[in-house]
A and B are shown apart, each in its own frame.
Chain A
Amino acid sequence: MSGGTLFGLCAALLVGVGLYGMVANAHPLRKILAFNIVGSGVFLMLGAIARRGAAAGLGGDPVPQALLITGIVVAFSATALAVAVLLRLFDVTGSVTLSADVPAKPDADAAEAPAKPPQSPGLG
Protein backbone atom coordinates (compact mmCIF):
# COMPACT_ATOMS: atom_id res chain seq x y z
CA MET A 1 0.00 0.00 0.00
CA SER A 2 1.55 3.29 -1.00
CA GLY A 3 2.32 5.93 1.56
CA GLY A 4 -0.39 8.15 0.17
CA THR A 5 -3.21 5.68 0.59
CA LEU A 6 -2.04 4.51 4.00
CA PHE A 7 -2.00 7.99 5.39
CA GLY A 8 -5.29 8.75 3.68
CA LEU A 9 -6.86 5.97 5.70
CA CYS A 10 -5.06 7.19 8.80
CA ALA A 11 -6.54 10.61 8.13
CA ALA A 12 -10.03 9.13 7.90
CA LEU A 13 -9.53 7.60 11.36
CA LEU A 14 -8.27 10.88 12.78
CA VAL A 15 -11.32 12.72 11.46
CA GLY A 16 -13.61 10.16 13.08
CA VAL A 17 -11.82 10.33 16.42
CA GLY A 18 -11.83 14.11 16.39
CA LEU A 19 -15.51 14.32 15.48
CA TYR A 20 -16.39 12.06 18.38
CA GLY A 21 -14.26 14.23 20.64
CA MET A 22 -16.07 17.37 19.57
CA VAL A 23 -19.42 15.83 20.41
CA ALA A 24 -18.63 13.92 23.58
CA ASN A 25 -16.24 16.19 25.47
CA ALA A 26 -18.07 18.74 27.53
CA HIS A 27 -15.16 21.09 28.28
CA PRO A 28 -14.76 23.68 25.53
CA LEU A 29 -10.98 23.41 25.63
CA ARG A 30 -11.26 19.70 24.85
CA LYS A 31 -13.62 20.58 22.03
CA ILE A 32 -11.01 22.98 20.65
CA LEU A 33 -8.45 20.21 20.94
CA ALA A 34 -10.72 17.79 19.12
CA PHE A 35 -11.31 20.42 16.44
CA ASN A 36 -7.55 20.58 15.94
CA ILE A 37 -7.44 16.83 15.54
CA VAL A 38 -10.19 16.86 12.94
CA GLY A 39 -8.40 19.72 11.20
CA SER A 40 -5.08 17.90 11.14
CA GLY A 41 -6.89 14.82 9.85
CA VAL A 42 -8.28 16.85 6.98
CA PHE A 43 -4.81 18.26 6.30
CA LEU A 44 -3.30 14.79 6.39
CA MET A 45 -5.83 13.64 3.83
CA LEU A 46 -4.87 16.51 1.56
CA GLY A 47 -1.24 15.63 2.13
CA ALA A 48 -1.89 12.04 1.16
CA ILE A 49 -3.60 13.29 -1.99
CA ALA A 50 -0.59 15.51 -2.67
CA ARG A 51 1.70 12.49 -2.32
CA ARG A 52 -0.39 10.55 -4.79
CA GLY A 53 0.07 13.43 -7.20
CA ALA A 54 3.84 13.06 -7.35
CA ALA A 55 4.96 13.81 -10.92
CA ALA A 56 7.31 15.92 -13.00
CA GLY A 57 10.25 15.10 -10.75
CA LEU A 58 8.56 16.35 -7.60
CA GLY A 59 7.82 14.19 -4.60
CA GLY A 60 4.31 15.54 -4.29
CA ASP A 61 1.81 17.83 -5.96
CA PRO A 62 2.88 21.33 -4.84
CA VAL A 63 -0.54 22.98 -5.11
CA PRO A 64 -2.19 21.02 -2.29
CA GLN A 65 0.97 21.36 -0.24
CA ALA A 66 0.73 25.12 -0.57
CA LEU A 67 -2.95 24.94 0.38
CA LEU A 68 -1.92 22.98 3.45
CA ILE A 69 0.36 25.72 4.66
CA THR A 70 -2.49 28.21 4.33
CA GLY A 71 -4.84 25.79 6.06
CA ILE A 72 -2.54 25.21 9.03
CA VAL A 73 -2.21 28.95 9.59
CA VAL A 74 -5.98 29.46 9.36
CA ALA A 75 -6.57 26.63 11.83
CA PHE A 76 -4.12 28.22 14.22
CA SER A 77 -5.86 31.59 14.09
CA ALA A 78 -9.19 29.84 14.69
CA THR A 79 -7.73 28.15 17.75
CA ALA A 80 -6.30 31.42 19.00
CA LEU A 81 -9.64 33.20 18.67
CA ALA A 82 -11.51 30.31 20.31
CA VAL A 83 -9.10 30.17 23.23
CA ALA A 84 -9.37 33.93 23.70
CA VAL A 85 -13.17 33.76 23.82
CA LEU A 86 -13.01 30.81 26.20
CA LEU A 87 -10.58 32.50 28.58
CA ARG A 88 -12.62 35.68 28.58
CA LEU A 89 -15.79 33.68 29.27
CA PHE A 90 -14.01 32.13 32.23
CA ASP A 91 -12.78 35.48 33.50
CA VAL A 92 -16.24 37.03 33.34
CA THR A 93 -18.46 34.19 34.51
CA GLY A 94 -16.17 31.85 36.41
CA SER A 95 -17.39 28.81 34.50
CA VAL A 96 -16.88 27.45 31.01
CA THR A 97 -20.11 25.63 30.44
CA LEU A 98 -21.78 26.07 27.06
CA SER A 99 -25.27 25.37 28.41
CA ALA A 100 -27.40 28.40 28.94
CA ASP A 101 -29.05 27.28 32.14
CA VAL A 102 -26.28 27.93 34.62
CA PRO A 103 -26.54 30.50 37.40
CA ALA A 104 -23.88 33.00 36.43
CA LYS A 105 -21.93 34.88 39.00
CA PRO A 106 -22.32 38.66 38.75
CA ASP A 107 -20.17 39.89 35.88
CA ALA A 108 -16.70 40.65 37.16
CA ASP A 109 -16.50 43.82 35.08
CA ALA A 110 -19.93 45.12 35.99
CA ALA A 111 -18.52 47.17 38.80
CA GLU A 112 -15.77 48.77 36.76
CA ALA A 113 -17.66 49.34 33.53
CA PRO A 114 -18.92 52.87 32.96
CA ALA A 115 -22.67 53.21 33.50
CA LYS A 116 -24.21 52.82 30.09
CA PRO A 117 -27.70 51.47 29.41
CA PRO A 118 -27.29 47.87 28.27
CA GLN A 119 -27.95 47.35 24.60
CA SER A 120 -29.66 44.00 24.67
CA PRO A 121 -31.93 41.99 26.90
CA GLY A 122 -30.88 38.94 28.82
CA LEU A 123 -31.43 35.63 27.17
CA GLY A 124 -34.38 33.43 27.90
Chain B
Amino acid sequence: MTDVLNVGLAALIVALAIWAVFARDAFAAVVGFIAYGLLLTLVWVQLQGVDVALTEAAIGGGLTGALLVGAASRLRGTEAAARAERPRTLVRVAAAALSAAVTAALAIGVLMLPDPAPTLAPQTMANIEVTGVGNPITAVLLAFRAMDTLLEAIVLVFALIGVWSLGPDLAWGGRPGLRHRADPNGILAYLARVLPPIGIIVGTYIFWVGADHPGGKFQGATIVAAMWLLAIMAGLADAPPVSRTWVRVGLAAGPLVFIAIGLMGAVTAGAFLAYPDGYAKSLIIVIELALMPTLALILALLIAGAPRRPAQP
Protein backbone atom coordinates (compact mmCIF):
# COMPACT_ATOMS: atom_id res chain seq x y z
CA MET B 1 0.00 0.00 0.00
CA THR B 2 2.72 2.44 0.94
CA ASP B 3 4.46 1.55 -2.30
CA VAL B 4 1.49 2.76 -4.30
CA LEU B 5 1.35 5.91 -2.20
CA ASN B 6 5.04 6.53 -2.74
CA VAL B 7 4.84 6.02 -6.48
CA GLY B 8 1.85 8.32 -6.62
CA LEU B 9 3.62 10.99 -4.62
CA ALA B 10 6.74 10.73 -6.74
CA ALA B 11 4.75 11.04 -9.95
CA LEU B 12 2.76 14.02 -8.67
CA ILE B 13 5.90 15.79 -7.52
CA VAL B 14 7.60 15.43 -10.86
CA ALA B 15 4.43 16.59 -12.58
CA LEU B 16 4.24 19.69 -10.38
CA ALA B 17 7.92 20.43 -10.97
CA ILE B 18 7.33 20.26 -14.71
CA TRP B 19 4.36 22.57 -14.27
CA ALA B 20 6.44 25.04 -12.28
CA VAL B 21 9.09 25.12 -14.99
CA PHE B 22 6.87 25.15 -18.05
CA ALA B 23 3.81 27.13 -16.97
CA ARG B 24 3.26 30.19 -19.07
CA ASP B 25 2.37 32.56 -16.28
CA ALA B 26 4.81 33.22 -13.45
CA PHE B 27 2.09 33.43 -10.84
CA ALA B 28 0.71 30.04 -11.84
CA ALA B 29 4.20 28.60 -11.70
CA VAL B 30 4.75 29.92 -8.19
CA VAL B 31 1.44 28.53 -6.99
CA GLY B 32 2.42 25.19 -8.48
CA PHE B 33 5.71 25.46 -6.63
CA ILE B 34 3.94 26.00 -3.32
CA ALA B 35 1.82 22.91 -3.94
CA TYR B 36 5.04 21.11 -4.84
CA GLY B 37 6.50 22.13 -1.51
CA LEU B 38 3.51 20.80 0.39
CA LEU B 39 3.67 17.45 -1.39
CA LEU B 40 7.39 17.33 -0.70
CA THR B 41 6.53 17.65 2.99
CA LEU B 42 4.48 14.48 2.69
CA VAL B 43 7.37 12.77 0.96
CA TRP B 44 9.61 13.66 3.88
CA VAL B 45 7.19 12.05 6.25
CA GLN B 46 7.23 8.94 4.08
CA LEU B 47 11.02 8.97 4.24
CA GLN B 48 10.90 9.06 8.06
CA GLY B 49 12.30 12.55 8.23
CA VAL B 50 9.73 14.40 10.32
CA ASP B 51 12.11 17.18 11.35
CA VAL B 52 12.94 17.78 7.73
CA ALA B 53 9.24 17.71 6.86
CA LEU B 54 8.58 20.46 9.40
CA THR B 55 11.44 22.55 8.03
CA GLU B 56 10.36 22.00 4.43
CA ALA B 57 6.79 22.98 5.22
CA ALA B 58 7.82 26.05 7.16
CA ILE B 59 10.76 27.38 5.18
CA GLY B 60 10.85 25.54 1.89
CA GLY B 61 7.19 25.81 1.07
CA GLY B 62 5.93 28.54 3.34
CA LEU B 63 8.52 31.31 3.46
CA THR B 64 9.98 30.66 0.03
CA GLY B 65 6.49 30.58 -1.40
CA ALA B 66 5.61 33.89 0.26
CA LEU B 67 8.78 35.46 -1.12
CA LEU B 68 8.13 34.23 -4.66
CA VAL B 69 4.46 35.19 -4.65
CA GLY B 70 5.31 38.72 -3.58
CA ALA B 71 7.96 38.97 -6.27
CA ALA B 72 5.70 37.51 -8.95
CA SER B 73 2.99 40.05 -8.30
CA ARG B 74 5.43 42.95 -8.41
CA LEU B 75 7.02 41.71 -11.61
CA ARG B 76 3.82 40.95 -13.46
CA GLY B 77 4.50 43.53 -16.14
CA THR B 78 7.87 42.13 -17.13
CA GLU B 79 6.78 38.72 -18.30
CA ALA B 80 6.00 39.63 -21.87
CA ALA B 81 9.46 41.06 -22.42
CA ALA B 82 11.02 37.99 -20.87
CA ARG B 83 9.02 35.67 -23.09
CA ALA B 84 10.38 37.47 -26.11
CA GLU B 85 13.89 36.57 -24.97
CA ARG B 86 13.32 32.87 -24.99
CA PRO B 87 16.41 30.98 -26.21
CA ARG B 88 16.41 29.51 -29.68
CA THR B 89 15.15 25.99 -30.29
CA LEU B 90 18.63 24.65 -30.83
CA VAL B 91 19.70 25.85 -27.41
CA ARG B 92 16.61 24.43 -25.76
CA VAL B 93 17.11 21.06 -27.40
CA ALA B 94 20.73 21.00 -26.26
CA ALA B 95 19.68 21.94 -22.74
CA ALA B 96 17.04 19.23 -22.68
CA ALA B 97 19.48 16.62 -23.93
CA LEU B 98 22.14 17.57 -21.40
CA SER B 99 19.68 17.73 -18.52
CA ALA B 100 18.46 14.29 -19.49
CA ALA B 101 22.06 13.09 -19.50
CA VAL B 102 22.58 14.47 -16.01
CA THR B 103 19.38 12.79 -14.83
CA ALA B 104 20.48 9.50 -16.35
CA ALA B 105 23.91 9.70 -14.73
CA LEU B 106 22.32 10.48 -11.38
CA ALA B 107 19.88 7.63 -11.74
CA ILE B 108 22.72 5.21 -12.48
CA GLY B 109 24.62 6.59 -9.53
CA VAL B 110 21.62 6.11 -7.25
CA LEU B 111 20.95 2.58 -8.46
CA MET B 112 24.56 1.61 -7.98
CA LEU B 113 24.94 3.02 -4.48
CA PRO B 114 26.45 0.48 -2.12
CA ASP B 115 24.14 -1.95 -0.37
CA PRO B 116 24.07 -2.08 2.66
CA ALA B 117 24.21 1.68 2.73
CA PRO B 118 26.94 3.26 4.85
CA THR B 119 25.29 5.08 7.70
CA LEU B 120 26.16 7.13 10.75
CA ALA B 121 23.03 6.17 12.68
CA PRO B 122 24.76 3.63 14.97
CA GLN B 123 27.52 6.11 15.83
CA THR B 124 24.97 8.81 16.54
CA MET B 125 22.98 6.61 18.89
CA ALA B 126 26.14 5.40 20.59
CA ASN B 127 27.16 8.96 21.44
CA ILE B 128 23.82 10.60 22.03
CA GLU B 129 23.78 10.07 25.82
CA VAL B 130 26.60 12.54 26.29
CA THR B 131 24.65 15.31 24.63
CA GLY B 132 21.67 14.96 26.92
CA VAL B 133 19.09 15.45 24.17
CA GLY B 134 16.72 12.77 22.96
CA ASN B 135 16.24 13.83 19.35
CA PRO B 136 19.19 12.49 17.33
CA ILE B 137 18.88 15.26 14.77
CA THR B 138 19.13 17.91 17.46
CA ALA B 139 22.18 16.05 18.77
CA VAL B 140 23.79 16.25 15.34
CA LEU B 141 22.82 19.88 14.83
CA LEU B 142 23.90 21.19 18.20
CA ALA B 143 26.58 18.82 19.39
CA PHE B 144 28.31 16.75 16.75
CA ARG B 145 28.11 19.29 13.94
CA ALA B 146 27.36 22.42 15.89
CA MET B 147 29.72 24.41 13.67
CA ASP B 148 27.39 23.94 10.74
CA THR B 149 24.50 25.36 12.74
CA LEU B 150 26.56 28.37 13.78
CA LEU B 151 27.57 28.93 10.17
CA GLU B 152 23.94 28.61 9.13
CA ALA B 153 22.98 31.47 11.42
CA ILE B 154 25.84 33.50 9.99
CA VAL B 155 24.68 32.71 6.44
CA LEU B 156 21.34 34.25 7.34
CA VAL B 157 23.02 37.36 8.75
CA PHE B 158 25.13 37.79 5.61
CA ALA B 159 22.09 37.38 3.39
CA LEU B 160 20.32 40.06 5.39
CA ILE B 161 23.27 42.46 5.16
CA GLY B 162 23.28 41.85 1.41
CA VAL B 163 19.55 42.50 1.14
CA TRP B 164 19.86 45.70 3.16
CA SER B 165 22.71 46.96 1.01
CA LEU B 166 20.33 46.93 -1.96
CA GLY B 167 18.15 49.75 -0.78
CA PRO B 168 18.47 53.29 -2.09
CA ASP B 169 20.94 55.52 -0.25
CA LEU B 170 18.29 57.90 1.01
CA ALA B 171 16.27 55.13 2.63
CA TRP B 172 19.24 53.63 4.44
CA GLY B 173 18.43 52.81 8.02
CA GLY B 174 14.72 53.09 7.32
CA ARG B 175 11.87 50.66 7.24
CA PRO B 176 11.74 47.79 4.75
CA GLY B 177 8.86 47.51 2.36
CA LEU B 178 5.87 49.75 2.12
CA ARG B 179 3.38 50.48 4.82
CA HIS B 180 0.54 48.04 4.46
CA ARG B 181 -3.01 49.10 4.97
CA ALA B 182 -5.89 46.70 5.38
CA ASP B 183 -9.50 47.15 6.18
CA PRO B 184 -9.59 47.12 10.00
CA ASN B 185 -12.85 45.22 9.90
CA GLY B 186 -11.81 42.78 7.23
CA ILE B 187 -10.80 39.17 7.55
CA LEU B 188 -7.07 39.86 7.23
CA ALA B 189 -7.05 42.20 10.22
CA TYR B 190 -9.20 39.75 12.13
CA LEU B 191 -6.83 36.87 11.50
CA ALA B 192 -3.88 39.09 12.34
CA ARG B 193 -5.39 39.75 15.73
CA VAL B 194 -6.44 36.20 16.50
CA LEU B 195 -3.67 34.06 15.09
CA PRO B 196 -0.42 35.56 16.42
CA PRO B 197 -0.92 34.69 20.09
CA ILE B 198 -1.78 31.11 19.11
CA GLY B 199 1.03 31.01 16.62
CA ILE B 200 3.58 32.23 19.11
CA ILE B 201 2.57 29.54 21.57
CA VAL B 202 2.69 26.87 18.88
CA GLY B 203 6.07 28.11 17.67
CA THR B 204 7.49 28.20 21.16
CA TYR B 205 6.21 24.71 21.82
CA ILE B 206 7.72 23.35 18.65
CA PHE B 207 11.01 25.02 19.56
CA TRP B 208 10.94 23.66 23.10
CA VAL B 209 10.00 20.13 22.27
CA GLY B 210 12.68 19.87 19.60
CA ALA B 211 15.22 18.69 22.15
CA ASP B 212 13.61 15.28 22.44
CA HIS B 213 11.04 15.09 19.65
CA PRO B 214 10.80 16.37 16.09
CA GLY B 215 10.88 20.13 16.10
CA GLY B 216 13.50 22.71 16.88
CA LYS B 217 14.38 26.33 16.69
CA PHE B 218 14.20 26.79 12.93
CA GLN B 219 10.69 25.53 12.67
CA GLY B 220 9.57 27.42 15.77
CA ALA B 221 11.28 30.60 14.62
CA THR B 222 9.60 30.39 11.23
CA ILE B 223 6.16 30.27 12.82
CA VAL B 224 6.92 33.25 15.05
CA ALA B 225 8.30 35.15 12.06
CA ALA B 226 5.21 34.31 10.03
CA MET B 227 2.97 35.67 12.78
CA TRP B 228 4.87 38.92 12.81
CA LEU B 229 4.69 39.17 9.02
CA LEU B 230 0.96 38.57 9.21
CA ALA B 231 0.61 41.48 11.59
CA ILE B 232 2.70 43.67 9.31
CA MET B 233 0.71 42.76 6.23
CA ALA B 234 -2.53 43.57 7.98
CA GLY B 235 -1.23 46.97 8.93
CA LEU B 236 -1.34 46.21 12.65
CA ALA B 237 2.40 46.52 13.00
CA ASP B 238 5.12 48.03 10.94
CA ALA B 239 8.54 46.74 10.00
CA PRO B 240 11.15 48.37 12.23
CA PRO B 241 13.76 50.74 10.82
CA VAL B 242 16.93 48.75 10.26
CA SER B 243 19.12 51.19 12.11
CA ARG B 244 17.30 50.64 15.39
CA THR B 245 19.66 49.36 18.05
CA TRP B 246 17.34 46.61 19.21
CA VAL B 247 17.16 45.23 15.69
CA ARG B 248 20.93 45.18 15.39
CA VAL B 249 21.42 43.65 18.81
CA GLY B 250 18.71 41.09 18.12
CA LEU B 251 20.45 40.05 14.92
CA ALA B 252 23.88 39.65 16.44
CA ALA B 253 22.90 38.28 19.83
CA GLY B 254 22.13 34.73 18.74
CA PRO B 255 25.36 34.00 16.89
CA LEU B 256 27.46 35.89 19.45
CA VAL B 257 26.02 33.87 22.34
CA PHE B 258 26.64 30.72 20.34
CA ILE B 259 30.25 31.72 19.72
CA ALA B 260 30.73 32.72 23.35
CA ILE B 261 29.49 29.36 24.60
CA GLY B 262 31.72 27.68 22.04
CA LEU B 263 34.78 29.58 23.21
CA MET B 264 33.88 28.80 26.80
CA GLY B 265 33.85 25.17 25.73
CA ALA B 266 37.33 25.61 24.33
CA VAL B 267 38.50 26.72 27.75
CA THR B 268 36.56 24.30 29.93
CA ALA B 269 36.00 21.25 27.78
CA GLY B 270 39.01 21.17 25.52
CA ALA B 271 37.56 22.16 22.17
CA PHE B 272 35.53 24.92 20.57
CA LEU B 273 31.85 23.97 20.77
CA ALA B 274 32.52 21.11 23.16
CA TYR B 275 30.30 20.95 26.25
CA PRO B 276 31.59 20.25 29.76
CA ASP B 277 30.27 16.99 31.20
CA GLY B 278 26.77 17.23 32.53
CA TYR B 279 26.15 20.71 31.20
CA ALA B 280 25.54 19.72 27.62
CA LYS B 281 21.78 19.86 27.68
CA SER B 282 21.57 23.13 29.57
CA LEU B 283 24.08 24.82 27.29
CA ILE B 284 22.25 23.55 24.26
CA ILE B 285 19.05 25.03 25.60
CA VAL B 286 20.76 28.38 26.23
CA ILE B 287 22.07 28.42 22.66
CA GLU B 288 18.67 27.63 21.26
CA LEU B 289 17.00 30.26 23.45
CA ALA B 290 19.45 32.84 22.19
CA LEU B 291 19.18 31.79 18.56
CA MET B 292 15.40 31.58 18.33
CA PRO B 293 14.61 35.33 18.47
CA THR B 294 17.51 36.07 16.14
CA LEU B 295 16.23 33.56 13.64
CA ALA B 296 12.67 34.84 13.81
CA LEU B 297 13.93 38.38 13.30
CA ILE B 298 16.15 37.48 10.36
CA LEU B 299 13.55 35.35 8.62
CA ALA B 300 10.92 38.08 8.89
CA LEU B 301 13.31 40.80 7.75
CA LEU B 302 14.48 38.74 4.79
CA ILE B 303 10.91 38.59 3.58
CA ALA B 304 10.35 42.25 4.34
CA GLY B 305 13.23 43.19 2.05
CA ALA B 306 15.48 46.17 1.65
CA PRO B 307 14.79 49.49 3.38
CA ARG B 308 12.55 51.62 1.22
CA ARG B 309 11.20 54.30 3.51
CA PRO B 310 13.58 56.77 5.13
CA ALA B 311 13.65 56.51 8.89
CA GLN B 312 11.93 59.28 10.77
CA PRO B 313 14.58 61.77 11.86
Chain A residues lying within 8 Å of B86, measured Cβ to Cβ, are: 24, 26
Q: Is B140 an interface residue (CB 8 A)?
A: yes
* Given A32-B68, A36-B33, A65-B51, also A23-B306 (CB < 8 A): no
Give B159-182 interface residues, CB cut-off 8 Å to A.
159, 162-163, 166-170
Q: Given A67-B148, A69-B52, A81-B162, do A96 and B82 touch, yes or no (CB 8 Å)?
A: yes
0/1 per residue, A54-65, Cβ < 8 Å to B?
111111111101
B145 within 8 A of A: yes
A7 and B121 contacting across the interface, CB-CB below 8 Å: no
Chain A residues within 8 Å of chain B by Cβ, number: 86
Question: Are A52 and B302 touching (Cβ within 8 A)?
Answer: no
Please determine whether B119 and A20 come into contact, CB atoms closer than 8 angstroms: no
Assuming A51-B47, A53-B118, A80-B302, is B87 touching A29 (CB within 8 A)? no
> Which residue of B79, B91, B149 is within 8 Å of A70 (Cβ)?
B149
B31 to chain A, nearest CB (A): 11
Q: Which residue of A lies closest to B52 (CB)?
A: A68
Instruction: Identify which of B3, B121, B158 contacts A61 (C-beta below 8 A).
Output: B121
Where chain A touches its partner, the secondary structure class is helix
Q: Contact: A84 with B305, CB < 8 Å? A: yes
Q: Are A56 and B121 in contact (CB under 8 A)?
A: yes
Closest residue of chain A to B166 (Cβ to Cβ) is A88
Q: How far is the CA of A12 from the CA of B44 in the complex (A)?
A: 16
Other-chain residue from A18, A43, A63 in contact with B120 (beta carbon distance below 8 A)? A63
CB atoms of B140 and A62 under 8 A apart: yes
Q: Contacting chain A: which of B57-65, B241-249, B272-280? A: B57-65
- Is the CB–CB distance between B82 and A84 below 8 Å? no
Residues of B bordering A, CB below 8 Å: 2-3, 6-7, 10, 13-14, 17-18, 20-22, 26, 29-30, 33, 36-37, 40, 43-44, 46-49, 51-52, 55-56, 59-60, 63-64, 67-68, 70-72, 74-75, 78-79, 81-87, 91-92, 95-96, 98-100, 102-104, 106-107, 110-111, 113, 117-122, 124-126, 136-137, 139-141, 144-145, 148-149, 152, 155-156, 158-159, 162-163, 166-170, 216, 218, 302-303, 305-306
20 A-B pairs (CB sep. < 8 Å):
A1-B3, A6-B10, A9-B111, A16-B103, A34-B21, A36-B64, A40-B60, A51-B47, A54-B119, A59-B49, A61-B121, A63-B124, A65-B52, A69-B137, A80-B303, A87-B75, A90-B78, A96-B82, A97-B85, A112-B169
**Given A23-B92, A54-B48, 20 additional A-B pairs, CB 8 A:** A6-B7, A11-B106, A13-B17, A19-B95, A19-B98, A21-B22, A26-B83, A27-B79, A30-B29, A36-B68, A47-B52, A58-B121, A60-B49, A69-B141, A83-B68, A84-B162, A84-B163, A87-B305, A96-B82, A112-B169
Which 10 A-B residue pairs are closest in the complex by CB-CB distance?
A59-B48, A53-B119, A16-B103, A21-B21, A27-B82, A77-B159, A12-B106, A66-B140, A8-B110, A62-B136
